[in-house]
Structure 1
Amino acid sequence: MPIPSVVGMNLIQTPFGFADTAAEVAAGIDLTGRRAVVTGASSGLGVETARALAATGAEVTLAVRDTAAGERAAKDIADGTGRTAPHVAPLDLTDPASITAFTASWRGPLHILVNNAGVMACPERYTAQGWEWQFATNHLGHFALAAGLHAALAADGAARIVVVSSSGHQLSPVVFDDVNFAFRPYDPWLAYGQSKTANVLFAVEATRRWAGDGITANALMPGAIHTNLQRHTGGRGSGTVPPELIKTPAQGAATSVLLATSPLLAGVGGRYFVDCQETETVDRRGEAPRLHGVARYALDPAGAERLWDLSLAATEGAA
C-alpha cells in the first residue's frame, strides 16, 4: 500500500471537487482586463480551460500548433460565451524558433499562463536538438515559453502559471543521468512519467525563483479524461482507470481554472492539486492506479533546482 505523508502543515482545501466543471469553478470570477495564454487550446482540456477563462472576461490567447483548429475553437468559445473571440497564435513547443517568435511578439503584461499542451506515451522520437519528444514537448518547450514570457508575467505583480501534470508522474522521477534514454531501452510510459514529474518540479522552482516578482506556479492532475492526448494509446489512456472515475473535458479543466482564478490560491505556489484540492505526498506508488497523491521526488527542492539548470542549458541559444 502507498504510504502517505504531508509536506508542510496544511493542505489547501476548496469548495470544489471531482464532479465540478471549469464553468462552475469560474462562476462569479471577474477577470476583465486580465490576459491569459493557454497552450494546446484547440481541443480537450485546453479549449475548456480557455472557454472558462474567456467567460470571466479575460482576454485569452490560444497558443496552438494548428491555427485553423484554433480559429474554430475561438469562434466556438465566442459563440458560447458571448465574449470577444480569443486570439489565436501559432506555437510548436518542440521548435525553439516557434517559441521565440511567440514570446518576442508578446506585448504588455501577462496575468495567467496555462501550460496545458502535451503528448502521452508516444513512439520513440527526438527533436532536432536531440531531446526525447515527451520531455521536450511537456517540459522543455513550456520551460522556454515561461522563461521567454517572464518579463510580461513579472509586469503584472501577481501572475500565475498553471502546469498540467498527471498522476503518471508517479511512474518515474526525472532520470537526470539518462533523460534521453541513451542507455535504457525507450519506454513510452517511463518517458511520459519523467516529463510529468518535470512539470511539478518546474512549478516548485519557478515559484522559488520568481515569487519575488509576484509570480507563482502550481501543478495539477486533471483526472482521467478521453481527449486527443490518448491518440497513441487507443483513445483510453492507460486503460486501468475505472469508468466511474473518468471525467468530461469540462470537469478535467476545473482544477486548471481553479489554480488560474481562485482567490484561495493568491500568493500560493509550488504545490500539486487533484480534484480542486491540494493532495497528499506519497512515498510509494502502490500496485493499483493512484489518481491522488504526489510523489515526494516531484516536490524535492534539490531536484527542482537541478532540473532548472538542465533546462536552461537545454534551451539557451536553442533558437
Structure 2
Amino acid sequence: MGADAGYRGRFAPSPTGPLHFGSLVAALGSCLEARRHAGEWLLRIDDIDPPREQPGAADAILHTLERFGFEHDGPVLYQSTRHDAYRAAVDTLHDRGRVFPCGCTRKEVLSAGVPGVNGVLYPGTCRNGLPDGRSARTWRARVQGTITFEDRFQGAVVCDLEAEIGDFLVQRADALPAYHLAAAVDDMASGITHVIRGHDLLACTPPQRFLMEQLGGTPPAYGHLPLAVNPDGRKLSKQNMAPPLDDATPAPQLVAALDMLHQRPPADLGRAAVATVWEWALAHWTPDRLHGVAHRTITPASP
C-alpha cells in the first residue's frame, strides 16, 4: 500500500433508513481507497432533514458498520450539531454576493423551470431582486462559470453551472441548510481530501465544488463508484425499497460488494470470517478496474 498520511476520506450516510447493498458498496470502496493510501476514513451522519429521518436509524447504521468490520477514525460527526457553521457560511456567501433571497415556492419553480442534471433548473425569477409583494422564503446560490475536474474513476467532468445546475438552494424554506451547502461546509471543516462515493452523486459534485471555491476552500479530489442497479435499471435505494443489509451475515455481503467493485474475490471467501474478508480486500484492492464503470446490474439474489 502507498503511504499518504495526508489522505482523508469519509462516508456520510443519511439516517432515513437502514443501510442497503448500495450503501455497502459506497462505504467499502471509500474505506478501501483511504486505507490504500494509509489515510484516515471518517464517518459523518447527515442528519439535517428531520422530516425524512427514521427514529433509531443513526444508531442502526453505526451498528451495521461495526458488524461489517468497518473501523472509522475519530468521533462520528453529526450534521445536526453544525447549524451555526451553516448559517455562518450563508452569511459569508451573502457578503460576497454569491447568494440571493428567493420568494418562489417549489411548485412555482417546477412549473416555470426547465430540466437540468439535478432536476428542474431555477427560472431566475428572484435573481435580480424579489418581485413586488414577495418576501424571502429561501436562499439560492448565484451560479456562474464552468466547473471542471478529473474524476478518479469517471475521467474528465465539465459542467456549465448556469445551463446544467442553475441557481440551487443553500437554505430551505424551513431555515434548514440544503444538502449541497452542508456537505461542502463539513467536507472543508473536516479537512476531507478525497470523496469516494456512488455515481448517483456525480451531479452533486459541481455545485459542492462551486460552494467550496466561493467560501475560499480547496475542493477535495472526487471519485464516483459504479452504481448498483436492479435488472430494470433502477438504482438500489431506500426510495426503491432496497432490502436492508443483514447484520447476521456480513461476510457474504462484503464479498458481493467486492465483486460489484470488480475486485474478483475468491468464490469461497464469503464463508470466511469478516476479518479474513477485510484482510483479502485490503491486500487486493485494485481501483483501476473501476475506470469508466458507471453502473452495474445485480441479480435479485444479491444482497
TM > 0.5 fold call: no
TM-score by length of 1: 0.34
Larger Rg: 2
Give 1 or 2: higher helix fraction. Answer: 1
Give 1 or 2: higher strand fraction. Answer: 2
